[in-house]
A = this chain, B = another copy of it.
Amino acid sequence: MKKYVYSFGGGKADGSADMKNLLGGKGANLAEMSNLGVPVPPGFTITTEVCTAYYENNKNYPEELEGQVLDALAKVEKLMGRKFGDVKNPLLFSVRSGARVSMPGMMDTVLNLGLNDETVKGLIEQTANERFAYDSYRRFVHMYADVVMECRAESEEEVDPFEIIIHEKKKGRGVKNDTDLTAGDLKELVSEYKAMIKKRFKKDFPDDPMDQLWGAIGAVFGSWNGARAITYRKLNEIPEHWGTAVNVQTMVFGNMGESSATGVAFTRDPATGEKRFFGEWLKNAQGEDVVAGIRTPQPVNLAGKTSDNEESLEEEMPGVYKELEGVYHKLEDHYRDMQDIEFTIQEGKLWMLQTRNGKRTAAAAIRIAVEMAKEGMIDEKTAVSRVKPEQLDQLLHPMFDPKAEKKVLAKGLPASPGAATGRAVFTAERAVEAKEKGERVILIRLETSPEDIGGMDAAQGILTARGGMTSHAAVVARGMGKCCVAGCGALEIDYVKRQFTVGETVVKAGDWISLDGSTGEVMLGQVKTIIPELSGDFSILMGWADKIRAIGVRTNADTPKDAKVARDFGAEGIGLCRTEHMFFEGDRINAMREMILADDEAGRRAALAKLLPMQKSDFLGIFRAMEGLPVTIRLLDPPLHEFLPHSEKEIEEMAKLMKVSADKIKAKTESLKEFNPMLGHRGCRLGITYPEITEMQARAIVEAACELTKEKIKVLPEIMVPLIGTVQEFENQAMIIRATAQKVFAEKGVSVEYLVGTMIEIPRAALTADKVAVQAEFFSFGTNDLTQMTFGYSRDDAGVFLPGYVEQGILPWDPFQRIDEEGVGQLIELGVTRGRSARPHLKIGICGEHGGEPNSVHFCHQVGMNYVSCSPFRVPIARLAAAQAALKDEALATVTK
């Protein structure tokens, strides 16, 4: 006879943890705990096969099921010494669904199943609490009617029928809260509920516990093909034939008097990771009382006591505490991870309701992982897989003191993590001035532009009203490791009045505000911040990660300072050094503008000659900071109009400085104006139109490299041509670069090894990668632009619809944050495969924002890239993610072997 029902409880179980496919996740876990000898309220699991059979057989159960359920039920009764439906000593059940994987929102739980007008009396006797018993009863009726009978509001206009009844009751009693209703009131509610149900469904609410049980089981199986479950399955690609199991489990109560209690505990400190048993409990209470906060929970043990007024479980119920201690050791040893456990003590008997891996702070995650490895509980690989890479962010940026009070004014995009507090300023100049005076400021702009960089650097944090996660403000701020909240649409900024308003609130220049770059919150006033310290455990864990990972980690850095930060965080080179940021500082912008205004090549060359020594000095600094490591330098990328002033005042100033008419500047600006600058005259297109720019940049790089080589400093320059769409574009630029390098080598009497490669950021470049790779010595995927063009989304404009897309499930995630494997990923794979078909050992990396996002790092590992590159503050995240990617692949390889 086929086994459809698996019992658990009493220190043993029919099933075990490895039977998830048959018992569902929850059922397998309950069996596992029982097998461990942990006291779990006994019960039984009806297998997923029943679900499948039910649907295959026209919604009929297998014949054997009823008998097996009754047998299992009898076992539970025996273990508990109570009887289902008994008037004196009733056994009550919870009924829950449980698929292979968790499917939140599929079906609600039915609690207290087995109550009726008779058994409720038994419950009163057991608990000596009439009000509790009737409250449980009326909740059961409501829950059962809702979940099993679908007795609920049928449209948005309709009010929930139970709400109407309870509202009338409270009105009649002249009270405001449900808690003000008496046992008698609740008892009346039960009858009124039942009357309503009868009127609505033309049949009685089922009073027979066995009817209730089968009703609930049927509802769980029915819910497998409910609209919510179907949608969820579709979104998560869960096959229909998996089915769900049903878990029927004994109810236990922590509020049956002074020898009953309830509590939660952690096997190690979830805030610090310290190895100590840590938890809270409440006597004569249910789980929800701990959460509600009406009574103050007490520490579970002496070690947790902070005053003599507190009553620890260790003192109050030493026997039970001892047992609990044993359980927690057993669970942690078994699951080999810090456990978050829930327990209930019913009349002196300990019951474990749940155990799961406990949530923890980043610091705790690291400490627990490292210590468990040292204790020999887990190996290094497991330790590395225990810390979520994203979590590290917490450790690398200042954070608000969790205890501080916050007045949240608005919420934008969490564009660059960290916490910042400062006075509001509305221009970059003002930010710079303030910094010089030692003031802390927050720079607030509609959007930022390259001209604001000085101000961004001077500010504690940046707040913009427009732009997305990959807007200029966001990208630059992340590169700087600076807090930024972007695209905060609620802000109405008035530059003239130097203020912004959110609804009725006005924030003027000089007012204090605070930004949380990890949540996107904009707060009034000064909120206290703290800087987390990096522990020794952090270095140990990262060391283990480095041993495991197969893919390199570089950084995107434009200055020696950024390069140094990244190197300290473990970067193994620079994957993207943007040269254009160098053109905005100080005098450089003037030389740059002079070049743009020049009427001919000679004029441009004269201006470029001024820029040459400045660029060279940048490269000298960066090469020194990165001694011995490769540095990928991207040639000029943005369109020229970005370097011209826009306001009337700036134009006047520039005209005076350049000794030309303001009209000439305006005419130039007008002629350079573009409808879609993202798709305009930029990247290598500039270098092709004005080869002298490429020549100057190549010369600056190679001269710097030669000079340092003479000083015996090892430099590994990789010169990168941006925005290639055809191999001919690359050839054109590479020829200039190589010819210039040869000239410089001859002039300097020394030569340096260098590579010339390209960004792959235009779909066409990926499609023709086999042709491009014949010429290019390395590829670096620019996934920001590649995502923009593959989707046809401007990252600066997509903020209007992209959040809605993710909410509506049109996109599973924001493709600018995590690589869209389905679409953009195809082009990347194609680029890698075709590139290596032409040049088998082609060095391939990624330098888009995705290079620091763990899922994307995994993808890069899978397609066989040599390295990822990300902003300095994300380097540790990428290192850890890379290690985890290698581990996942290893695991997969083992499974498929």
Of B676, B790, B811, B826, which contacts A678 at CB under 8 A? B676
Shortest CB-to-CB span from A816 to chain B, Å, is 12
Query: For the complex, is A767 an interface residue (Cβ under 8 Å from B)?
Result: yes
Chain B: CB-nearest residue to A804? B689
Query: For the complex, is A764 an interface residue (Cβ under 8 Å from B)?
Result: yes
Of B675, B761, B792, which contacts A723 at CB under 8 A? B792
Complex interface bits, A683-715 against B, C-beta within 8 A gives 1, otherwise 0: 001001100000000000000000000000000
Q: Is the pair A768, B804 in contact by a Cβ cutoff of 8 Å?
A: no
Q: Is the pair A764, B785 in contact by a Cβ cutoff of 8 Å?
A: no
Q: Is the pair B675, A796 in contact by a Cβ cutoff of 8 Å?
A: yes
Chain B: CB-nearest residue to A801? B685
Q: In whole angstroms, what is the CA distance A804 to B675 when docked?
A: 20
Q: In whole angstroms, what is the CA distance A72 to B810 when docked?
A: 78
Q: Which of A47-55, A90-98, A172-180, A726-734 contacts B (4 or more CB under 8 A)?
A: A726-734
Q: Is the pair A681, B789 in contact by a Cβ cutoff of 8 Å?
A: no
Complex interface bits, A799-829 against B, C-beta within 8 A gives 1, otherwise 0: 0110011001111000000001011101100
Chain B: CB-nearest residue to A762? B792
Shortest CB-to-CB span from A496 to chain B, Å, is 14
Shortest CB-to-CB span from A186 to chain B, Å, is 43
Answer whether A823 and B768 are a contact pair too, CB < 8 Å, given A681-B801, A792-B762, A794-B680: yes
Of B761, B762, B810, B826, which contacts A732 at CB under 8 A? B810
Q: Is the pair A762, B785 in contact by a Cβ cutoff of 8 Å?
A: no
Query: For the complex, is A677 an interface residue (Cβ under 8 Å from B)?
Result: yes
Query: For the complex, is A797 an interface residue (Cβ under 8 Å from B)?
Result: yes
Q: Is the pair B764, A797 in contact by a Cβ cutoff of 8 Å?
A: no
Query: For the complex, is A674 an interface residue (Cβ under 8 Å from B)?
Result: yes
Taking CB atoms, residues of chain B closer than 8 Å to A785 are: 792
Taking CB atoms, residues of chain B closer than 8 Å to A677 are: 675-676, 797
Q: In whole angstroms, what is the CA distance A791 to B680 when docked?
A: 11
Query: For the complex, is A763 an interface residue (Cβ under 8 Å from B)?
Result: yes
Q: Is the pair A678, B679 in contact by a Cβ cutoff of 8 Å?
A: yes
Query: For the complex, is A39 an interface residue (Cβ under 8 Å from B)?
Result: no
Q: In whole angstroms, what is the CA distance A789 to B674 when docked?
A: 16
Shortest CB-to-CB span from A233 to chain B, Å, is 16
Answer whether A676 and B796 are a contact pair too, CB < 8 Å, given A685-B801, A790-B763, A824-B764: yes
Q: In whole angstroms, what is the CA distance A732 to B676 when docked?
A: 28
Shortest CB-to-CB span from A808 to chain B, Å, is 7
Q: In whole angstroms, what is the CA distance A820 to B764 when docked?
A: 10
Query: For the complex, is A788 an interface residue (Cβ under 8 Å from B)?
Result: yes
Query: For the complex, is A412 an interface residue (Cβ under 8 Å from B)?
Result: no
Answer whether A822 and B675 are a contact pair too, CB < 8 Å, given A791-B725, A792-B725, A801-B681: no
Q: In whole angstroms, what is the CA distance A785 to B677 when docked?
A: 16
Q: Is the pair A794, B726 in contact by a Cβ cutoff of 8 Å?
A: no
Query: For the complex, is A793 an interface residue (Cβ under 8 Å from B)?
Result: yes
Q: In whole angstroms, what is the CA distance A726 to B681 when docked?
A: 29
Taking CB atoms, residues of chain B closer than 8 Å to A768 are: 822-823
Q: In whole angstroms, what is the CA distance A792 to B639 when docked?
A: 13
Q: In whole angstroms, what is the CA distance A763 to B761 when docked?
A: 13
**Number of A positions contacting B (CB below 8 A):** 48
Shortest CB-to-CB span from A447 to chain B, Å, is 9
**Max chain B Cβ within 10 angstroms of own Cβ: one of A788, A792, A794, A808:** A792
Q: In whole angstroms, what is the CA distance A676 to B761 when docked?
A: 17
Taking CB atoms, residues of chain B closer than 8 Å to A674 are: 794, 796-797
Of B680, B789, B811, B827, which contacts A726 at CB under 8 A? B811
Q: In whole angstroms, what is the CA distance A800 to B823 when docked?
A: 31
Q: Is the pair B827, A763 in contact by a Cβ cutoff of 8 Å?
A: yes
Q: Is the pair B811, A790 in contact by a Cβ cutoff of 8 Å?
A: no
Shortest CB-to-CB span from A627 to chain B, Å, is 36
Q: How many copies does the complex hold?
A: 2
Q: Is the pair A810, B729 in contact by a Cβ cutoff of 8 Å?
A: yes
Of B675, B764, B790, B822, which contacts A794 at CB under 8 A? B675
Answer whether A801 and B689 are a contact pair too, CB < 8 Å, given A729-B810, A822-B768: yes
Shortest CB-to-CB span from A706 to chain B, Å, is 30
Q: Is the pair A800, B764 in contact by a Cβ cutoff of 8 Å?
A: no
Chain B: CB-nearest residue to A447? B675
Taking CB atoms, residues of chain B closer than 8 Å to A689 are: 800-801, 804
Q: Is the pair B790, A679 in contact by a Cβ cutoff of 8 Å?
A: no
Q: Is the pair B791, A688 in contact by a Cβ cutoff of 8 Å?
A: no
Q: Is the pair A810, B767 in contact by a Cβ cutoff of 8 Å?
A: no
Shortest CB-to-CB span from A230 to chain B, Å, is 15
Of B728, B792, B811, B826, which contacts A809 at CB under 8 A? B728
Chain B: CB-nearest residue to A787? B764
Taking CB atoms, residues of chain B closer than 8 Å to A797 are: 674-677, 679-681
Q: Is the pair A810, B688 in contact by a Cβ cutoff of 8 Å?
A: yes
Chain B: CB-nearest residue to A732? B810
Chain B: CB-nearest residue to A686? B801
Q: In whole angstroms, what is the CA distance A688 to B800 when docked?
A: 12
Taking CB atoms, residues of chain B closer than 8 Å to A827 are: 763, 767
Q: Is the pair B808, A791 in contact by a Cβ cutoff of 8 Å?
A: no
Answer whether A793 and B679 are a contact pair too, CB < 8 Å, given A688-B808, A804-B689: yes
Of B723, B726, B794, B800, which contacts A810 at CB under 8 A? B726
Q: In whole angstroms, what is the CA distance A809 to B688 when docked?
A: 12
Chain B: CB-nearest residue to A471? B675
Of B681, B761, B800, B811, which contacts A681 at CB under 8 A? B800
Q: In whole angstroms, what is the CA distance A820 to B765 when docked?
A: 13
Shortest CB-to-CB span from A604 to chain B, Å, is 16
Taking CB atoms, residues of chain B closer than 8 Å to A790 are: 725, 762-764, 767, 789
Answer whether A792 and B792 are a contact pair too, CB < 8 Å, given A764-B824, A767-B827: no
Taking CB atoms, residues of chain B closer than 8 Å to A762 are: 790-792
Shortest CB-to-CB span from A564 to chain B, Å, is 33
Q: In whole angstroms, what is the CA distance A86 to B805 when docked?
A: 89
Answer whether A794 and B725 are a contact pair too, CB < 8 Å, given A681-B801, A804-B689, A827-B763: no
**Max chain B Cβ within 10 angstroms of own Cβ: one of A680, A761, A763, A822:** A763
Q: In whole angstroms, what is the CA distance A688 to B801 when docked?
A: 9
Q: In whole angstroms, what is the CA distance A681 to B762 when docked?
A: 21
Taking CB atoms, residues of chain B closer than 8 Å to A732 are: 808, 810
Q: In whole angstroms, what is the CA distance A823 to B760 when docked?
A: 14
Taking CB atoms, residues of chain B closer than 8 Å to A811 are: 726, 728
Q: In whole angstroms, what is the CA distance A805 to B685 when docked?
A: 9
Q: In whole angstroms, what is the CA distance A350 to B679 when docked?
A: 62
Taking CB atoms, residues of chain B closer than 8 Å to A723 are: 792
Taking CB atoms, residues of chain B closer than 8 Å to A804 are: 688-689
Taking CB atoms, residues of chain B closer than 8 Å to A822 are: 768
Taking CB atoms, residues of chain B closer than 8 Å to A729 are: 810
Q: Is the pair A679, B764 in contact by a Cβ cutoff of 8 Å?
A: no
Taking CB atoms, residues of chain B closer than 8 Å to A678 are: 675-676, 679, 792, 794
Taking CB atoms, residues of chain B closer than 8 Å to A725 are: 790-793, 823
Q: In whole angstroms, what is the CA distance A796 to B673 when docked?
A: 11
By Cβ-Cβ distance, the 5 closest A-B pairs, closest first, are: A679-B794, A676-B794, A764-B823, A680-B797, A728-B810
> Interface of A with B (CB < 8 Å)?
674-681, 685, 688-689, 723, 725-726, 728-729, 732, 761-764, 767-768, 785, 788-794, 796-798, 800-801, 804-805, 808-811, 820, 822-824, 826-827
Known: A681-B800, A726-B811, A767-B790. 5 other contacts (CB 8 A): A675-B677, A676-B679, A725-B793, A768-B822, A789-B789
Q: Show 13 residue pairs from A and B whose CB-CB distance is below 8 angstroms, ordered by the A residue.
A: A675-B794, A675-B797, A676-B677, A679-B797, A689-B801, A723-B792, A725-B823, A726-B810, A726-B823, A729-B810, A762-B790, A764-B790, A767-B826
